[in-house]
Amino acid sequence: MKSELLTKKRWHWAIFAALFCIVAPLYGGEYYYQQAADQLIFRHTVSHSFMADSPQFELEIYGDGTTRIYIHPVNKIDGLRQRGQFEAKLASERIREIFDILEKEGVLSFRAETVRAKKAAEPKQGTATDPLVVQFEIYLEEYIGAAGATGPLEKHIQWTGPMTDADRYPEIKSLQGLARATKELTLWLCDLARELERAGAAQ
C-alpha cells in the first residue's frame, strides 16, 4: 500500500498507523515505512575498491525490525571476539538511531551530481588516496523533511573515497556529512555486534 493513505490532513490516520511504522527523529524529519519482513528500508555497505564484492561492513534493516549486520573477518574490533554475520530484531527506537544519523549528516538530501559539480569547481587540498567505497540504499514510503517537503524517498548513493574527499574539499558540507555518517554507522554497527555477541546471538 502506497503513501496515498497519508494526506496533508492526516485523514484515515488510524488505518495508516496500523500499516506503517512512524519514525520521528530528533532532527526535525519524520519517516514512514512498511512494517513488512520482506521490505528493505535501509542498506549500507563499506568496501575496499579492490575488494568491491567483499564488504568490510554491511548493515541491512527491514520493515519488521529485522536487522542483519556483517563484519568481515579481517577487521579487528575492540571488544568483539567474533566477526561475520549477526542478526537481531530491533524496536523502532533503535531504527530511529539510524535515521537520526542520516538526517543529521545530510545523507537523505545528498545529491551525487551536485556534489561532483562542486568538486570540479573547488580546488582540492592534499594528495592522499582513500580506497573505501560506501553505498547507501534508502526506501521510505513517506519522508517529511525539516523544511516541510513531503513524499516517498528512494535513494541510492555510491561514493568512492569519502574520507579523502572530506579532507580535500573541506568547504563541501555534503562530503563532510557523508564521511561522518560512514564513521557513525560503522561505530553503531560494531556496538550492535558487541551487544549481540554478549547476548549469544552471533550466527
Residue 47 pLDDT > 80, yes or no? Answer: yes
**Is the Cα torsion angle 50, 52, 53, 57 positive or negative in sign?**
positive
What is the model's pLDDT at position 142? 85
How confident is the prediction for the chain on average, in pLDDT? 80
User: Has residue 18 been placed in a domain?
Assistant: no
Taking only the tens place, the pLDDT of each residue in 49-61 is: 766 566 789 999 9
Residue 149 pLDDT > 60, yes or no? Answer: yes
Mean pLDDT to the nearest integer, 68-93? 81
Residue 179 pLDDT > 90, yes or no? Answer: yes
Mean pLDDT to the nearest integer, 65-79? 82
User: Has residue 23 been placed in a domain?
Assistant: no
What is the model's pLDDT at position 51? 64
Give, as one character, the DSSP assignment of residue 28.
Answer: S
Distance CA 135, CA 156 (A): 7
- What values do phi and psi take at 159, rounded to 5? -140, 130
Mean pLDDT to the nearest integer, 119-139? 83
Q: Which domain holds residue 86?
A: 36-139+153-198
Q: Is the pTM of the predicted complex or chain greater than 0.85?
A: no
Sequence-ordered list of residues with C-beta below 8 angstroms from that of 175, at least 6 positions apart, any chain: 115, 119, 162, 165, 166, 169
Sequence-ordered list of residues with C-beta below 8 angstroms from that of 135, at least 6 positions apart, any chain: 43, 44, 45, 47, 156, 157, 158, 159
Mean pLDDT to the nearest integer, 100-113? 92
The CATH number of the domain holding residue 130 is 3.30.1560.10
What is the model's pLDDT at position 18? 45
User: Has residue 49 been placed in a domain?
Assistant: yes
Mean pLDDT to the nearest integer, 172-185? 96
User: Has residue 5 been placed in a domain?
Assistant: no
Residue with grid cell 553505498, as numbered in its chain: 135
Give me the number of domains the chain comprises.
Answer: 1
Distance CA 66, CA 87 (A): 7
- Ranges 6-15, 117-126, 143-152, most confident: 117-126
What is the model's pLDDT at position 3? 36
User: Has residue 3 been placed in a domain?
Assistant: no
What is the model's pLDDT at position 22? 55
Distance CA 134, CA 149 (A): 27
Residue with grid cell 555510491, as numbered in its chain: 158
